Chains A and B, each alone.
Chain A
Amino acid sequence: MAKPLPTALRNHLTGLRLLLLFTVLCGLAYPLLVTGISQVAFSSQANGSLVKGKDGTVVGSSLIGQNFTTTSADGKTVSPDPKLFQSRPSAAGADGYDPTASAGSNKGTNDAGLATTYTQLKAAIAKFNDVSQSQVPPDAITESGSGLDPDISPAYAAIQVNRVAQARGLTDAQVQALVAKYTQSRTLGFLGEPRVDVLNLNIALTKLG
């Protein structure tokens, strides 16, 4: 008869066997089952809530923010597109809104560089939208936690309405109506904050002309 294994070794083998069992159960069976059901029952959400543009091609996810920029004719300078609503500044990747590098700035509120950045951004945004600096809301100059924030505050949308309307040759009321359509109030009246879904708003704008 073979000698019984020493207790310590037996313990580790028991552990390994249980770990392998649970790897199959919790690590394969469970996520694959959830994936299977989700793909059938909630296909759109499970695949990233993708949205299509004017011509029917996918232009992004309604949950992931984007840069809305225009490139100069010589291809050298990239600047905010006056015809589209602008997202918040982003720390994700070198140019912002890079989902392969989701991140916040992690700057502390007493960081001297951060204060300077805010002051400059505030002035630039006020000038771009032709409003006073005091009208620029906090979310317009701060970077979100994910760097992918799909939303802006209704206040930031409000100061952009006139600029977008003029750039597109629309009336303020037309743009205002679209903003209202893509503004979500608090869930159930008290969860979260009111917000404007920038990508879907911009898609609607491009469809309008």
Chain B
Amino acid sequence: MNSSLAGFLQALALVGALALSYRPLGDYIAHTLTSRKHLRIERGIFKLIGVDGDAEQTWGAYLRSVLAFSFVSVLFLYGFQRLQEHLWLSLGFPAVTPAMAWNTAASFVTNTNWQSYSGESTMGHLVQMGGLAVQNFLSAAVGIAVVAALIRGFTRNKTDHLGNFWVDLTRITLRVLLPISFVFALVLVAGGVVENLHAAQIVHTLSGATQSIPGGPVASQEVIKQLGTNGGGFYNANSAHPFENPNPFTNLLAIYLMLVISFALCRTFGKMVGSHKQGYTILSVMGLYWIASASLITFFEHQHSGIAAQIAGAAMEGKEVRFGIPGSSLFAASTTLTSTGAVNSMHDSFTPLGGGTAILNMMFGEIAPGGTGSGLYGILILAVVTVFVAGLMVGRTPEYLGKKLGAREMKFASLYILTTPAIVLCGTGLAMSLKAGHGGGMNNTGPHGFSEVLYAFTSAANNNGSAFGGITVTSTHWETALGLAMLFGRFLPMVFVLALAGSLAKQAPVPESTGTLRTNTPLFVGMLSGVILIVVGLTYFPALALGPLAEGLH
């Protein structure tokens, strides 16, 4: 069997597995978000934290809870890293420097998991599992909670109530993320991922040199890193490291885990709004972009353009033999389209157009299928914009899922769309102009060096977390700038999403008429796909032209 056919079958197996879990998982999450009954352990938790599990919040209260929780999380994680030398299992590592600890705290709380540190030489086991991995669970749950509030905005009428953030957060973590993680962590260990509390073990190699074999509770962190679309590797090489991702099976499982919740949330959405077709429409757009992107990256990497790759005979720089081109490309497409940002191959060494596609994937705003929760709210905002654009053409007040989209709603949607590009483009522009502080971190020269900077800001603002890893981002300038990009890129859009949800929930439903644009048809799939490409994609075209396109079309 040749490599391309095997790669195709691998993608097919992945699609099959995702299709099988779509309905049960989506329905289960919908049940989790709508059930009136609390589990006993949940009642206990609500009592301990002093929350009435049956009380509902307005959009403002919901938002304040999100922000308060995240603020406390950043402080806590910052302190955790700064104190690590005094803690159990520190492995003798000193306290993380202030700039790096700030950047890492912002990174893990925003579900970005950008890593300016190198795991195996910076973080002790306790900080990894008790600090970083905890945010892997919670930041993922926050994303799902926010999209739950947005969906309730569509389904509820004439109310201020959008649910309760504390209840949503607790339930998603306890009922969805923890059980799935537990099962697949054991599967990963069986497959060869390490899970222990050892410090590095020194061995004498076959040739008599010494090698230090690292330890760590890796599998338990690895699984939620993918499932929660986080992406922060236990080790520096992330999922390319054989202890995180030892074989082709664990590789496919990793890709499956990073996609499964975000795709299944379309089912959750369909179920909650009472029309599975609405869910399938969104799913189709996500699926189209995902398939197109995976095919493109695989194609470009197989083509291996570029001087060095031509000499080598294949674009194997930065790729592992066990994954090859197909396993690396499928992973790269999925990780940049889901806001995961884990890497099993080094994107910096991809072909110019292959790496460029990875950047473009993130620029679409992480919506195909995107991060847990954030992917769905991102694409729903774009659906709102699409309905609005279509409404303009026929001169009617647009409506989506029975709610009118007036000036107020469109303002929030527009602000959402503008936030991330503003952060990415201003951040990149500033970095390039302040050469001493920022552009100085580039590993490559020319257009490829520019791509490294563009990638960094795109990744941070879209909360992806992968990198063109050659760039050096440990200066205080970079740590601060990217930390801010991550925080603004995460929480400003959430403000607009929740404000929109509040304004939708207040409305009375509009009965469907003959003039209503039907949003559950192939036509709408095409329109939404087009709007994503034009509104979002074209925003970045000039920047892409300076980097990957300039290099790739050279």
Residues of A within 8 A of B (CB): 7-8, 10-19, 21-23, 25-28, 30-35, 37-39, 41-42, 45-50, 53, 57-61, 63-71, 81, 84, 88, 92, 95, 97-112, 114-115, 118-119, 122, 137-139, 141-153, 186-187, 189-193, 195, 199, 202-203, 206
Contact = CB atoms under 8 A, between A and B. Distances in A.
B344 interface: yes
A146 B322 contact: no
A115 B349 contact: no
B318 A101 contact: no
B204 A106 contact: no
Nearest to B185: A34
Nearest to B351: A109
Interface of B: 1, 3, 5-6, 9-10, 13, 45, 48-51, 64-65, 68-69, 71-73, 76, 118, 120-121, 129-131, 133-134, 137-138, 166, 169-170, 173, 178, 181-182, 185-186, 189-198, 200-201, 203-209, 211-215, 217, 219-221, 224, 235-237, 240-243, 246-249, 251-252, 304-309, 311-324, 327-328, 343-346, 348-352, 355, 443-444, 446, 448, 468-470, 551, 554
B207 A27 contact: no
A26 B318 contact: no
A27 to B, nearest CB: 4
Given A46-B196, A66-B205, A108 B173 contact: no
Contact of B181 (A30, A37, A146): A30
Given A11-B68, A46-B194, A122-B311, A202 B206 contact: yes
Most chain A beta-carbon neighbours within 10 Å: one of B178, B206, B309: B206
A59 B204 CA distance: 5
Contact of A15 (B65, B170, B240, B311): B65
16 contacts: A10-B50, A26-B173, A27-B130, A42-B189, A48-B213, A48-B243, A53-B206, A84-B206, A101-B118, A108-B349, A108-B470, A109-B315, A114-B307, A142-B318, A145-B318, A192-B248
B348 A64 contact: no
Nearest to B240: A145
Nearest to A117: B308
A30 B178 contact: yes
Given A31-B133, A102-B236, A186-B248, A138 B313 contact: yes
Contact of B192 (A49, A65, A104, A193): A49
Contact of B65 (A11, A41, A47, A148): A11
Given A19-B69, A22-B173, A187 B213 contact: no
A187 B248 CA distance: 7
Contacts of B137: 22, 26
A47 B6 contact: no
A189 B181 CA distance: 28
Contacts of B50: 10, 13-14, 17
Contacts of A53: 206
Contact of B247 (A12, A57, A187): A187
A192 B182 CA distance: 25
A100 B317 contact: no
A16 B74 CA distance: 11
Contact of B220 (A17, A35, A61, A148): A35
Nearest to B132: A27
A192 B322 contact: yes
A47 B243 CA distance: 10
A8 B240 contact: no
Given A50-B213, A144-B320, 11 more contacts: A12-B68, A19-B134, A28-B129, A66-B209, A71-B208, A138-B314, A147-B237, A151-B322, A191-B251, A191-B327, A192-B327
Most chain B beta-carbon neighbours within 10 Å: one of A26, A49, A101, A115: A26
B72 A63 contact: no
A26 B134 contact: yes
A145 B319 contact: yes
A21 B45 contact: yes
Contact of B236 (A59, A101, A118, A139): A101
Contact of B217 (A8, A23, A35, A152): A35
Contacts of B208: 71
Contact of B200 (A70, A100, A148, A203): A100
Given A27-B133, A64-B211, A57 B204 contact: yes
Most chain B beta-carbon neighbours within 10 Å: one of A15, A60, A150: A15
A33 B131 CA distance: 17
Nearest to B248: A192
Nearest to A18: B49
Contacts of A71: 208
10 closest A-B pairs by beta carbon, nearest first, are A192-B248, A109-B306, A106-B470, A145-B240, A193-B324, A102-B237, A27-B130, A138-B314, A104-B346, A146-B237
A68 B211 CA distance: 12
B192 A15 contact: no
Given A31-B220, A38-B189, A114 B211 contact: no
A115 B72 contact: no
Contacts of B76: 16, 19, 23
Contact of B49 (A21, A30, A35): A21
Nearest to A152: B321
Nearest to A187: B248
A70 B196 CA distance: 33
A81 B207 CA distance: 8
